[in-house]
Amino acid sequence: MARHIMTLTCDDRPGIVATVSAALLAVSANIVENQQYSDEDTDLFFMRTVFDAEPHEVEQVLEAIRQSAAISHHHLAARPEDEHCRTIILVSKFDHCLLDLLYRWKSGDLPIDIVGVVSNHEDCRGLVEYYGLPFTVIPVTRETKADAEAELLRMVETNDVGLVVLARYMQILSDQLCTALEGRAINIHHSFLPGFKGAKPYHQAHDRGVKLIGASAHYVTADLDEGPIIEQDVVRVTHAESPERLVAIGRDVERRVLSRAVRDHAESRIFLSGRRTIVF
């Protein structure tokens, strides 16, 4: 027996849980964890089930669910829990989010396989190579941007990558690339969205005199800073903090929020429902 994670999105109607649990029982699978949610706004049903089963019987489970009259317009997938999400990390010069991801990955805290780290600068090479990972520099200028993105996308596709993490990657992706990576690229924005979009959010926060600063991890979409939010957090600050100090404080929130979002994605806990996320 091996532990599997199954995710299901479909139209919300009676009989779905009965269908899924009967399909699992038919192969004597044991349900370890189960979460579900019916979104009244979108009339969609979401389910995440962790179960122990013989690997060769999983396809039979999926087929039984697919054939059921209770299931329509479904997205259904299952994978062994130990089949980690293949991941590429994009980074520029700031290394705090990168280090946090690398450390957590190394300590077994993040179920991802890091295919490599890609940057438009050389700065993080030492850190990445210390962790024994390939570091690829793809410089980006106005002229080379299209080529650079094509190269990145090739890496994603060649390596069967399920997650691209923008760990303070200071380049705006083209609409085309955003579309190609839809639902599998996570960005960390250094503010509590929807406040302080755009550049220099900590300076905006200082000018406005807010008492909490935050960070937001979201899926990348063509509509900048408007992608579905996955995770957010804040930290209390006072009038005494300069913009520079806010930046330093913000680094802690950013890395914490991004790491949580990456884990949620890698554990198949996130579902899209319109422009909102369901996170089990």
Give least dist CB 16 to a second copy, A.
8
Is the CB of residue 261 less than 8 Å from the CB of residue 220? no
Which listed range, 55-63, 115-123, 161-169, 272-280, lies at the site for a second copy (CB under 8 A)?
272-280
Q: Nearest-CA neighbor of 15 among 85, 68, 90, 92? A: 68
Find the binder of a second copy among 228, 250, 253, 262 (CB under 8 A): 228
Decide: is 196 part of the binding site for a second copy (CB under 8 A). yes
Residue 164 CB-density burial (10 A; 0-12 exposed, 13-18 middle, 19+ buried) = buried
Told to judge if 225 belongs to the known catalytic residues of this protein, a careful annotator would answer yes
Q: Of 12, 39, 113, 225, which one is the catalytic site residue?
A: 225
Q: Nearest-CA neighbor of 164 among 88, 259, 261? A: 88
Q: Taking the CB of residue 94, how many other CB atoms lie within 10 A of it?
A: 18
CA dist 78 and 8 (Å) reads 9
28-67 residues in contact with a second copy (CB under 8 A) are 28-40
Decide: is 248 part of the binding site for a second copy (CB under 8 A). yes
Which listed range, 116-124, 163-171, 172-180, 238-246, lies at the site for a second copy (CB under 8 A)?
238-246
Give least dist CB 271 to a second copy, A.
9
Q: Which residues contact 115 (CB under 8 A, 6 or more apart)?
A: 86, 87, 88, 134, 155, 159, 161
Amino acid at 213: I
Find the binder of a second copy among 214, 220, 250, 266 (CB under 8 A): 214
Which listed range, 20-28, 54-62, 137-145, 175-183, lies at the site for a second copy (CB under 8 A)?
20-28
CA dist 13 and 2 (Å) reads 30
* b/e map 243-279, b = 16+ CB within 10 Å: eeebbebbbebbbbbbbbbbbbbbbbbbbbbeeebbb
Decide: is 96 part of the binding site for a second copy (CB under 8 A). yes
Contact string (CB under 8 A) for a second copy, positions 112-141, x = contact? --------------x---x-----------
Give least dist CB 174 to a second copy, A.
24
What is the contact surface with a second copy in residues (CB under 8 A)?
A: 14-18, 21-22, 24-25, 28-40, 96, 99, 103, 107, 109, 126, 130, 192-196, 207-212, 214, 228-234, 238-240, 242, 248, 251-252, 256, 273, 275-279
Which residues does the annotation mark as catalytic?
225
